[in-house]
Structure 1
């Protein structure tokens, strides 16, 4: 089996690293901020590029339908419009791009963490949140209670919790309790590896290795832990800021549009040049999305939401007086 195929078969594990980083970053960006600030930061970060990504991917799928030969339907208007809400999954509407499934996982994390933000983030409250979320995840894994699992997300909770604990380590310093939380989350994460493998073996087309999967998950924990203890503080290259800004728009467009490009280029180019050209095109489109969509629209949304939350506080104060 070619090396590229062997490595690519485990590319889906990047999601687990993403959830770890999300727990770390969301806790960091929320510290000392209000619920309004939290909502504003998430909306301005997620939605502008997402709206354009949905529309762009829908246009491509509409113009080039039936790639797989078993789904002749083009994206319907209702499906596209519901996807624009980012709340299509609980409505039973399929993703315009299959990678969007992670967004509903993220949104549920934001909502439950937002409850803690509403009370004000403190070291004790965040620790309590990690403990309660972990305990409910353990219960959810052992009982047939779909509503509980829909909220706590036992399959992925351990990555978010570990990321939060690692941020506390980064901000307040290391101690045995925080390392214990991270270690326990790693133990629970490796326990769920077989489920992840079973879910992704269909796309790989062959049996995946538990050892390789466990090693990649462990490496993900190790990388974020190293960042938490300051091992990467020396990395201050300017291009990293640009690379970080492109990760989200690239994520939004890479799969369906990327497949369409690869399908056509592979008829004329060998595998590695096909991948190189596709990557160059995807990065270019992601950069355009960042410069022409995210950068101009995010400030507009931020000002509008800031004004809205100011009105909430003002009207709330007036109603209290009356």
Structure 2
């Protein structure tokens, strides 16, 4: 999130007024970077890591036993680590709206490609090597070359190909959100248009389950739409100031989200192999909404610890690399007689180091290179066809053309 952040009016007696009445001069004031969001991204990533490493009981081959018995106290908390995904989506709605405000569709496309693909491609290659060749890999799936190449598109799920790493399923969710939001970007982002987009999407998401139309459900994403929509509304609060309409969007989104958690619970109980509390899930969801909303309203503007920026940058590589590679490291450590605590801390240290290496020596240079390529003048889509390139005359072709048809 290197975008320069725009201001919002400080809450006062007129804070619940129409944002359109805010003075234009306020748009020229710069506020500090939202490092608190970087910290929340790190929290979300570590929650997901903890869930996969210590919250899932359905893969006893990783620990040579189930985490619920090996680390019962820790497992009680990490069994709910999957809620970090919902926090990711909430933050994503905020950040995407923030990062593309005032940008052209081309700039929006470039920013998303540059942000997602370089680290993802490197993670695909590293994970595929571990899955296919590491002696301690959880499941020697023997990914084919075609499997790996298809995963490079990030469209393996609609193409019916298994992910190189199961955690990549969330990327397909993110891509659909980016595609939906691209419609608003193409129209030009304004307060009114974004709000209309949120309203239409919420209505479609709520009715999609009953419409019995797979295509509609695929793009409406009923289970996850409330988080993205709430995140977008929170950015509008951050940029334009709080008002009752935006608070209503956030509150309504949470009401829908808590209902969808009833379905989410069942899918994760399959992994934990025991019941999960809806009360805990809904409580964490409410807390996540409240914290991100507090960030939007400026409650954490004083948090400017620079290490949070580094942590935020490592979040994506950590997410991409932690599962299959982490499982292989855990099995290796356990095979060498290491205890649970040492195994977890050692595996986390290796994954963090690997993520930093990927970010520093692969993601950053590849992103810069890709941005230069995508910004090249030759990639501009002109409204009219470009001039036809002249071709040199071919004497042989001319002779054949004037000789008449072959007999």
TM over 0.5: yes
Rg larger for = 2
Cα offset for 1:190?
0.3
Q: Which residue of the partner structure matches residue 297 of structure 1? A: 366
RMSD between superposed Cα atoms in Å: 1.6
TM-score relative to the length of structure 2: 0.75
The gaps in structure 1 that reach 5 residues or longer are none
Structure 2 distance, partners of 1:73, 1:241, is 36
Q: Rate the CA distance shift 1:15–1:100 in 2: closer, same or farther, 3 A.
A: same
Question: How many residue pairs were aligned?
Answer: 316
Cα offset for 1:144?
0.7
Q: Rate the CA distance shift 1:65–1:277 in 2: closer, same or farther, 3 A.
A: closer
CA contact (8 A) 2:136 2:331 kept: no
Report matched runs for 1:90-169 at 5 Å: 90-169=158-237
CA contact (8 A) 2:94 2:234 kept: yes
User: 1:254 is paired with a residue of what secondary structure?
Assistant: helix
Q: Which residue of the partner structure matches residue 44 of structure 2? A: none
CA contact (8 A) 1:66 1:73 kept: no
Partner deviation per Cα, 1:133-175 (whole Å, 9 max, x = no partner): 0011111022211110011111100000000000000000000
The gaps in structure 2 that reach 5 residues or longer are 1-67, 388-407
Q: Which residue of the partner structure matches residue 44 of structure 1? A: 114
Partner of residue 100 from structure 2, selected from 19, 30, 35: 30
Q: Which residue of the partner structure matches residue 233 of structure 1? A: 301
Structure 1 distance, partners of 2:212, 2:308, is 44
Q: Rate the CA distance shift 1:166–1:272 in 2: closer, same or farther, 3 A.
A: same
Q: Which residue of the partner structure matches residue 54 of structure 2? A: none
Q: Which residue of the partner structure matches residue 242 of structure 1? A: 310
Cα offset for 1:312?
2.1
Partner of residue 87 from structure 2, selected from 13, 17, 29: 17
Partner of residue 285 from structure 1, selected from 350, 354, 376: 354
Structure 1 distance, partners of 2:190, 2:384, is 25
Structure 1 distance, partners of 2:241, 2:141, is 54
Cα offset for 1:211?
1.1
CA contact (8 A) 2:136 2:332 kept: no
Q: Which residue of the partner structure matches residue 215 of structure 1? A: 283
TM-score relative to the length of structure 1: 0.95
Structure 2 distance, partners of 1:65, 1:38, is 42
Structure 1 distance, partners of 2:100, 2:171, is 19
